[in-house]
Structure 1
């Protein structure tokens, strides 16, 4: 069984496992802090209503047995506690079977959340975390050396993330092929970060070089992950550096950080330190059998993502099974040329008119106040702020949750207001709420120095006319 383990990758395994533990922790904390307002019993898209309409076979989840907000909180906080234990190294202090059980429980708990999360959990990094978490079940602990098969499956996962993203770009928007997409991307991406303004103002030649480098990193480098060392380690380092560049330029939840963690699985860590004695112990037969079975399962399920990669109709961020085990990935097949933002306002006037004073609601991450520098939130995921970006693109896509959101503002619902940065009506709810669509643009250097504004905006149209509670029922 010497072929089965790769002792030289023991340090890489430690980094991967601790890194996954941190990202699981962030994911569970995000769920715990936001679920009541988004999908709780009285949330914007309540889980109980979803469970009545969707059978278990279409969305496997523990919550099909029973749902309550208290139970959801127990699952989220329990997952966070278990994740923290993984980060602390508990899986290396328990027997191999117990370590595998811990990882399996984490995967099951988060799968149960994702499969009832509806629109709020329809992001590629949810499936990516679940797929990575499933592989982590079989990655072992200090009782045995890192299994070669699982390390290769992690390379296969990184390959699909990067190569899928590269292909969807080349097959999609023409600006990727003429190297001009980054003229717009830093300004129009879902949630800019504190450095996005500066990235946007790089010379256009730098933007073209940045785009070309991205194509190389996503279409050429991933292939090298399957080559012998040290080439595979070099390729992994390029992936890591590329993802760090994306971390600096925007807020993509844990997508970039998780890709970095997974890329570490391709790094030969023998240069850093010798493997511990336990890494050379032959694996138990039952463990080897489970690893081989998991590898065979992933190989079979890889047919659909592989076919998708080769298809001219390639789809982004699609799960081909309800367990999110082997998925397709990709991002930004098309690039927006304009940033359209929905600005939500309220008033306490008895009846709105030409002289009515409207006050804006402030969001934590998405642009609202032009003078506010975008903040860094990733890997934490501000789900409402992200969905507000989609609302600006398509009101039809957002209507199912946006109308209930406005209803919560008209009630001064405390759970919903905790998702916002500021509430202009702290003492009593507004009588009317409206939404307006604005075109946001980064200011130039001169305007920034003169006014301190990072954005300038112009009104495009009315998004939602002034509504009170009665009027909202008609819109719904």
Structure 2
């Protein structure tokens, strides 16, 4: 089966595998450091409560069989250590079957986390990491040349990711069609970064070019990924440049970096490696028959499961992000089908005064990533994922996004729950818990150049009202 492998894609495989392993490591570390407050035994949405209500077949996970905070931490740190080993190239020093086992263990561990993570793990980059991680199991190591079919499946994944995002924009919001969405996006995106203020203040003609370039990158360039070399590598390079622009302008966890890693898998061919001054492809051993059989079976499975994402892409009622199986093998993707024109923020406050009066002094809880103080420059946190900060952005848009966990958050603050407080940057009541907490809703906007020079503030805000009125521990905490 001479067609089965292509040695000239050794570079793309190596870059993809190393990059994916690094992002796996980021994902596992993110889970290890945040799970106790989010889904731990004393977290906002505890895993034991979830597994008692949801059957294994609907959410397959090792934590369906056993859960404790200590066991979860051990699995998360095991995944981080395994990812680091893969990033260091350990699988290339092992037999092919052992390398596949290493990749499979990473996938199974992260699948187990996502499937009990509930709303905290309902983001597209979680599904994207699992789908890419599953395909990586069958990409081989230095024992064999890169399988053509698996490389094709990775390009198919990148195509669905980019083309789906492009379609949902055209279908979802008129500002993408009239090229004005970037007038607002840098200001209203979930977690602005340190350069977002500057991107927001680019001239409007530049914003229109940004939007037009996005359409080209997501609706036209993906088709060139299937073209012969060097056209496919050029298309991959354009995807990478577009994603680096997004990396610079905001914080989207590992979404942009994983898209870059997927694009790296399309780079290869003797023309490309020769133009880069790289050595020719190394000699590889013959491909074992059992490996050929597995790859063919996986390719057939992906083709069958692609029916649902393709149907979604062709539908006028396209869904932005969805997983069609509990194993998250072939998913549908999309981002920013609508762009907010106004930024809303929820500010959580507490007081230790025994009674609420007009003179009550409220102290603000400071989050690690989301906007709060006016003079704080938005931090760079990606590719790390601050899940609570992201959900606070969604909750500011609609109480529907907060119904399951916000009352538990307020109760945790009234109790000074240490696991939950570790999710924050600053607790204004380190000694004893507050008597009352409340949540206020504000409209935020980036300041102008003159305002920044005058008072050093990156943001200005307008009070809109109480989102959740003051509550005490002795009172029942209800959703907004």
**TM-score > 0.5 by shorter chain:** yes
Q: Which residue number corresponds to residue 334 of structure 2?
A: 330
The alignment status of 1:274 with 2:279, answered yes or no, reads: yes
**How many equivalent residue pairs?**
475
Partner of 1:466: helix, strand, or coil? strand
Q: Answer with 406-415 or 114-123: which moved more.
A: 406-415
Q: Which residue number corresponds to residue 91 of structure 1?
A: 91
- The answer (yes or no) to whether the contact 2:164–2:334 under 8 Å persists in 1 is yes
Partner of 2:152: helix, strand, or coil? helix
Give the whole-Å Cα distance in 1 for the aligned partners of 2:279 and 2:162: 31
Q: Report matched runs for 1:173-188 at 5 Å.
A: 173-188=173-188
Shift of 1:274: 2.9
Q: Report matched runs for 1:75-474 at 5 Å.
A: 75-268=75-268, 270-271=273-274, 272=276, 273-275=278-280, 277-279=282-284, 281-473=285-477
- From the superposition, tell whether residues 155 and 441 of structure 1 become closer, same or farther in structure 2 (CA, over 3 Å): same
Partner of 2:476: helix, strand, or coil? helix
Unpaired runs of at least 5, structure 2: none
Give the whole-Å Cα distance in 1 for the aligned partners of 2:297 and 2:256: 29
Give the whole-Å Cα distance in 2 for the aligned partners of 1:453 and 1:472: 37
Partner of 1:56: helix, strand, or coil? coil
Deviation digits for residues 437-463 of structure 1, max 9, x if unmatched? 000000000000010000000001110
Give the whole-Å Cα distance in 2 for the aligned partners of 1:188 and 1:380: 20
- The answer (yes or no) to whether the contact 2:183–2:204 under 8 Å persists in 1 is yes
Give the whole-Å Cα distance in 2 for the aligned partners of 1:360 and 1:148: 55
Give the whole-Å Cα distance in 1 for the aligned partners of 2:478 and 2:206: 51
- From the superposition, tell whether residues 475 and 135 of structure 1 become closer, same or farther in structure 2 (CA, over 3 Å): closer
Shift of 1:74: 1.1
Deviation digits for residues 112-159 of structure 1, max 9, x if unmatched? 000000000000000000000000000000001011111111100000
Unpaired runs of at least 5, structure 1: none
Shift of 1:296: 0.7
Give the whole-Å Cα distance in 2 for the aligned partners of 1:427 and 1:188: 35
Deviation digits for residues 215-263 of structure 1, max 9, x if unmatched? 0000000010001111111100000000000000000000000000010
Q: Which residue number corresponds to residue 15 of structure 2?
A: 15
Q: Give the CA RMSD over aligned residues.
A: 1.0
- From the superposition, tell whether residues 469 and 238 of structure 1 become closer, same or farther in structure 2 (CA, over 3 Å): same
- The answer (yes or no) to whether the contact 1:372–1:453 under 8 Å persists in 2 is yes
Partner of 2:437: helix, strand, or coil? strand
Give the whole-Å Cα distance in 1 for the aligned partners of 2:477 and 2:282: 68
Partner of 2:246: helix, strand, or coil? helix
Give the whole-Å Cα distance in 2 for the aligned partners of 1:475 and 1:283: 58
Shift of 1:473: 4.2
- From the superposition, tell whether residues 474 and 146 of structure 1 become closer, same or farther in structure 2 (CA, over 3 Å): closer
Give the whole-Å Cα distance in 1 for the aligned partners of 2:339 and 2:476: 33
Give the whole-Å Cα distance in 1 for the aligned partners of 2:96 and 2:45: 40
Give the whole-Å Cα distance in 1 for the aligned partners of 2:168 and 2:441: 29
- The answer (yes or no) to whether the contact 2:172–2:337 under 8 Å persists in 1 is yes
